Structure 1
Amino acid sequence: MSKIAYVIAGSEGTGGAGLQADLKTFEKLGVYGVGTITCIVSFDPKSGWGHRFVPIAGQVIADQIEAATSAHALDVVKIGMLGTPETVETVATSLRQQPWRHVVVDPVLICKGQEPGAALDTDNALRSDILPLATVVTPNLFEAQTLSGMESLETVDDLAEAARRIADLGPRYVAVKGGAGLPGDEAVDVFFDGTDVTVLRAPKIGNERVSGAGCVFAAAITAELAKGTDVADAVSVAKEFAHAGIAGRITTEAPFTAVDWHS
């Protein structure tokens, strides 16, 4: 069984999210990490820490994927931020060129540096081209509401219904991250395996934004799957791992903290 995990995602300049967080997660969980960059996101400290978004050319992405898949026997991949319809098409085309044991999709739908129309086009491309390839998809509350078409997600039952609807788009397993977004003292996620819903709970650790928590959750699932863990157990491990990273989060000069396991 391969102990190599692959990620196709954006670079995030502060190091707390995106490909940087993914590769750190892989290393922490004992797998060799390989990464392909799809875009570069740099928060702008001179403008309210808004996103500056720069896509990588499609051919450059395809070349990276060709190099990674030629050099290594890759069969487990995480898909993170893609950012444009062209990138979605490039990645989907490359993924279809070989079989994958597991494809984990963190469906990053909107980057604040994008125009709304471009973001919608990207969302639609992700639905049609990437989600049907997914073993596991890990939307947060906003992403789950968007993908499910539901008006609001306010209860655990809402999360479960959203998971069922998202599964109808093609993924075999859906983990909806309620996180700190639902009322109460617990950070609640739900996992749908196509038949049953499992509720995952952990105590909330504050309500502020923790950069990279969603990236780390999906990357931890990917790392565990690369080690041969079954999907349900991989999601459970990832929940505990991300929770520990949030508990040990580090303060930054930006208006958000970052996941860390060393504090």
Structure 2
Amino acid sequence: MHSTKPVILTIAGSDSSGGAGIQADIKAISATGGYACSVITALTAQNTRGVSAVHPVPQQMIRDQLEAVFSDLPVAAVKVGMLGDAATIRTLAEALRRHGPAHLVVDPVMVSANGDPLLAEEAVAALCEELLPLAEVITPNLPEAARLANCALPTRLAEVESLFAGLAELHCAAVLLKGGFLQREPRSPDWLLSGGEVRCFDAPRVMTPNTHGTGCTLSAALACYLAQGLPLELAVASAKHYIDRAIAAGAGLRVGHGRGPVEHFFRGLASAEGSA
């Protein structure tokens, strides 16, 4: 019997600690029912405590990876993460315009969870002009959204609405605004801005330091659910449910000495425990 899975291409940086970036994307796509392939844009030396070095991949190698994947695999959706500089953004945008994947999720990675810069200042304009208009949905966190909307960073739940007007002016179809940075709030809401409407996806906050790679994981799962044919709102709800459960399942993990990862394969663990 032959079976098929939707092919999801993740284009992002590599995380040597395995909790974020390409590694987290591959885990999330695999756990949510897709076949993951990748284009690596940068090598990072990082762990749960921070990023110590970033080495961009040469542009020709990025082009070669893109061509190798698109010329052979039936890519159903693309998730974009860390790009690093304007040249990489332009290289990628040209390839995406040419190949035209059915679904494109862009996670505009600008800083790590520990505050380390991951996107050069001069690259923000290229991101807004070249890549965001191609996206079906972008998934900024609050600091990224404030930078894109040219607004002050909200620090309380009541201040988040101040970002909506600026985000609506971005040239992209939809925005999934992630509220995980509101760490003093008892709940963890995300907001979908689409078609002039705002819908909130809310969940109780899991109090854990193990949040390394949550943004990567959410956007990769969202791309996978879109590739499976779910409409945007249902895909967002499914991805939100997945990351919330992955955070809860990973709350007790002891990996490294800083912000640990989530448990991407919590469903498999539950099945194994049930059959033990």
TM-score normalised by structure 1 residue count = 0.91
Deviation at 1:51, TM superposition (A): 2.9
Count of residues in correspondence between the two structures:
259
Deviation at 1:154, TM superposition (A): 3.6
Measure, in 2, the Cα distance between the counterparts of 1:174 and 1:157: 19
Deviation at 1:149, TM superposition (A): 1.0
Aligned residue number for residue 16 of structure 1: 19
Deviation at 1:18, TM superposition (A): 0.5
Map 1:181-260 onto structure 2 (within 5 A).
181=182, 183-206=184-207, 208=209, 210-249=211-250, 250-260=253-263
Alignment CA distance shift 1:74-1:163 (3 Å):
farther
Alignment CA distance shift 1:37-1:50 (3 Å):
closer
Is 1:82 the counterpart of 2:107? The answer is no
Aligned residue number for residue 7 of structure 2: 4
Bigger CA drift: 156-165 or 72-81?
156-165
Structure 2 unaligned segments of length 5 or more: list them.
270-276
Deviation at 1:102, TM superposition (A): 1.4
Aligned residue number for residue 130 of structure 2: 129
Deviation at 1:43, TM superposition (A): 1.4
Contact kept, 8 Å, 2:5 with 2:33, in 1: the verdict is no
Deviation at 1:110, TM superposition (A): 3.4
Deviation per residue, 1:109-132 (Å, 9 max, x gap): 1366669xx720122221111111
Contact kept, 8 Å, 1:160 with 1:197, in 2: the verdict is no
The secondary structure found in structure 1 opposite 2:8 is strand
The secondary structure found in structure 2 opposite 1:186 is coil
The amino acid of 2:36's aligned partner reads G
Contact kept, 8 Å, 1:83 with 1:122, in 2: the verdict is yes
Contact kept, 8 Å, 1:131 with 1:171, in 2: the verdict is yes
The amino acid of 1:140's aligned partner reads N
Aligned residue number for residue 175 of structure 1: 176
2:44 aligned residue (32, 41, 45): 41
Deviation at 1:5, TM superposition (A): 1.1
Contact kept, 8 Å, 1:163 with 1:174, in 2: the verdict is no
1:29 aligned residue (32, 37, 44): 32
Measure, in 1, the Cα distance between the counterparts of 2:97 and 2:128: 16
Aligned residue number for residue 65 of structure 1: 66
Measure, in 2, the Cα distance between the counterparts of 1:92 and 1:7: 14
Aligned residue number for residue 273 of structure 2: none
Aligned residue number for residue 108 of structure 1: 109
The alignment yields a C-alpha RMSD, in angstroms, of 2.2
The secondary structure found in structure 1 opposite 2:120 is helix
Percent of paired sites with the same residue: 32
Alignment CA distance shift 1:163-1:69 (3 Å):
farther
The amino acid of 2:28's aligned partner reads T
